[in-house]
Structure 1
Amino acid sequence: MRVKICGITNLEDALDAIQAGASALGFVFYEKSPRYIEPFEARKIVDKLPPFIQTVGLFVNESTNYINQVCTNAKMQIAQIIDDDNYTELESLEIKYIEVIRAKNKNDLLNIDDKYYLVDAFVESFGGAGKRVALDWFDEVDCSKIVLAGGLTYENIKELKGYNFFAIDVSSGVEASKGKKDKDKMIKFIKASNEI
């Protein structure tokens, strides 16, 4: 199972996440988040990463120009986009992107396009709150192009077995405190994900 560890704020956590087996690291460029990182600080971390690790920038209701500039400055490879207010012109992005569906109910997951999405539980604070999406919402959904986020921990991800999610995304579930990861939790999380 592919795992993205989001909310990286320092090099130590980034390297610990990679050593634990993460295939992607997420950097939050939403200033109201306790996990916010300034783009050039993120770049300092990215410059020290080993090869074959994907870097993902998280954006909330931002303009296309802002996203393009930050991704350049921070050396992001993918933009993860929450666009509730339709600020972003997706066709004008200069970087690969994945849209976030903030699911309030099962209907939000029905009839979605045949492309990759990240699905998170709806929270007013835009993620990192540890809230889970009800798994039964996915019972009639093809999950092979869905990255699941929200409320995942090494103790509960075994419940995902059989759904065939493309990947999983974790932030608060592997933290010691907001913005600081727990190395042991990351190791346990990725070990558990490999058993799905």
Structure 2
Amino acid sequence: MSTQKTPVRVKICGLSTPETVAAAVEAGADYLGFNFYPRSPRYVTPEEAAALAERVPPSVLKVALTVDADDATLERIVAALKPDILQLHGNETPERLREIKGRFGITLMKAIAVAAPEDLERIEIYRDCADLLLFDAKPPTSMANALPGGNGLVFDWSLIAGQKPDLPWMLSGGLTAENVGEAIRTTGAEAVDVASGVEDEPGRKNPELIRKFVRAARTL
């Protein structure tokens, strides 16, 4: 008897226009990410994100990307967008995650920047306070104006191949329609996240690239 493989879940991150939100939903994305990091070209205000998400069906989860955000910022985001997941993409400590969970009671996804084997040691410190993990490429210190994520960088996928962190996890970092299949096969990822890989330029998503990425992630 053959067993049907669960389709890979897909997150389109850094959405900022009604057209690309609609394209992501229509393509079958499982998660829509809204970026609240002011330095990012994908930045939107909580109120803008809420307007963009008005017609998003409940089956598609809304993710709020933040970087070392304070409580006041998080309160504004939560009140406006009512996200399903808070994505913490900065230097948040396990203690900070526990504070956020206690205050807001929302599912937490902690990003872990990866460039070398020792970076994976951080899995252990977040095991008891995060609900999901996101493995992303760590930008080199020589990279000028690097963002915490969304830099279009790929890390060595073999570093996380076979990892069993006891938490659901998602793969990010330089993914495109052209390489996402190889990334999934190499790492065993059950969920993938894309931002720059579906853009014509930083912050400007392309609806056709969104559709191509979702198809590629699901065609294995």
- The aligned counterpart of 1:13 is 20
The partner residue of 1:69 within 73, 76, 97 is: 76
The question of 1:38 aligning with 2:45 is answered yes
Backbone CA RMSD of aligned residues: 2.1
The question of 1:119 aligning with 2:141 is answered no
Following superposition, the deviation at residue 140 of structure 1 comes to 4.2
- The aligned counterpart of 2:3 is none
Following superposition, the deviation at residue 88 of structure 1 comes to 7.3
- The aligned counterpart of 2:118 is 107
CA distance in 2, matches of 1:8, 1:112: 28
Offset from partner CA, 1:32-51 (integer Å, 9 cap, x none): 10000011011011112223
Q: Which runs of 5+ in 1 are unaligned?
A: none
CA distance in 2, matches of 1:109, 1:168: 18
Q: Which runs of 5+ in 2 are unaligned?
A: 1-7, 140-145
Equivalent positions of 1:72-111 (< 5 A) are: 72-84=79-91, 86=93, 89-93=96-100, 94=104, 95-110=106-121
Choose 1 or 2 for highest CA Rg: 2
CA distance in 1, matches of 2:55, 2:9: 22
Following superposition, the deviation at residue 85 of structure 1 comes to 5.8
Q: Given residue 132 of structure 1, which amino acid in structure 2 is its aligned partner?
A: V
TM-score, length-scaled by structure 2: 0.82
- The aligned counterpart of 1:195 is 219
1:63, 1:89 within 8 Å by CA — same for their partners in 2? no
Which aligned runs of 4 or more in structure 1 are off by greater than 6 angstroms? Answer: none
Q: Structure 1 or 2: larger helix share?
A: 2
CA distance in 1, matches of 2:110, 2:92: 13
| Aligned residue pair count | 196
Following superposition, the deviation at residue 128 of structure 1 comes to 1.3
1:69 match: secondary structure: helix
Following superposition, the deviation at residue 87 of structure 1 comes to 10
CA distance in 2, matches of 1:140, 1:161: 11
CA distance in 2, matches of 1:4, 1:33: 18
CA distance in 2, matches of 1:82, 1:162: 24
1:13, 1:181 within 8 Å by CA — same for their partners in 2? yes
